[in-house]
Amino acid sequence: MRTIKLISGIAFFMIMSLGCSSSDSSSATDCESLANATDAAEVAYNNATTATLVEKCNAYKTALQNEINSCGDTDGTLQNIIDGLNCTVPTTTGTLSMSLGSSPLAFDVLTVTTNGTTRHIHGEKSNSTSYEIDFDVEVGQTGANKINNFQLRLFSQTFTPLIPAAFGNDWASVITTNSSTSVVGTFHGELANPGQTSAQDLLNGVVNITF
């Protein structure tokens, strides 16, 4: 009887050990999957456009919270990320304007998004869908020629800097302020559509925005 009891005890211990090992392995796999989901949500958030910013930010928050709920957050790192996320489109005010020849053009719907080290500035006219402007500046950089990827959309055409200029108005820009809350500078130059069948003479470009 003692032998039977001893064997039964060993068998019970082995079953319990295997059960714990299987449970631990499953838990580790689940946490790895949740961590991968959080990483993917972070990438999507960092690459969000103005239109998708709120959606991607909230998805990133949800992924972080799911990881905390299932796997813990002993040092508070994940919670700190959640606390630092602002899932609202920033309010941007200020001036973004220019003249096309003698015709003034100002944008009154302004948005600024920052992805990594690149700050993207977008402008529209609230009373028209025919005019849009987009350009990038690297975070913190000031000085000459710091405006990149400049595009001006007029009706169905997109105009970019014409380099070299055909009529002497060479493309140039100067950023004088580039902080965590504002961008200030000037820009001017000739623009052309992709086939260079149409050109625009951009004068007195001003960016002075707070976000």
* pLDDT tens readout for residues 93-123: 999 999 999 999 999 999 999 888 999 999 9
- Per-residue pLDDT, 88: 78
- Per-residue pLDDT, 210: 95
Average pLDDT over the chain, rounded to whole? 88
Of 16-20, 126-130, 203-207, where does the model show the most confidence? Answer: 203-207
State the Cα–Cα distance between residues 202 and 11, nearest whole angstrom.
85
pLDDT more than 70, % of the chain: 86
pTM of the model: 0.60
Tens of pLDDT, residues 145-193: 999 999 999 999 999 999 999 999 999 999 999 999 999 999 999 999 9
**Residue of 114, 103, 116 lying closest to 152 (CA atoms):** 103
State the Cα–Cα distance between residues 206 and 106, nearest whole angstrom.
9
Give the side-chain half-sphere CA count within 13 A for 45.
24
Q: Spell out the residues 6+ positions from residue 127 whose beta carbon is closer than 8 angstroms to its own.
A: none
- Per-residue pLDDT, 15: 46
Q: Spell out the residues 6+ positions from residue 18 whose beta carbon is closer than 8 angstroms to its own.
A: none
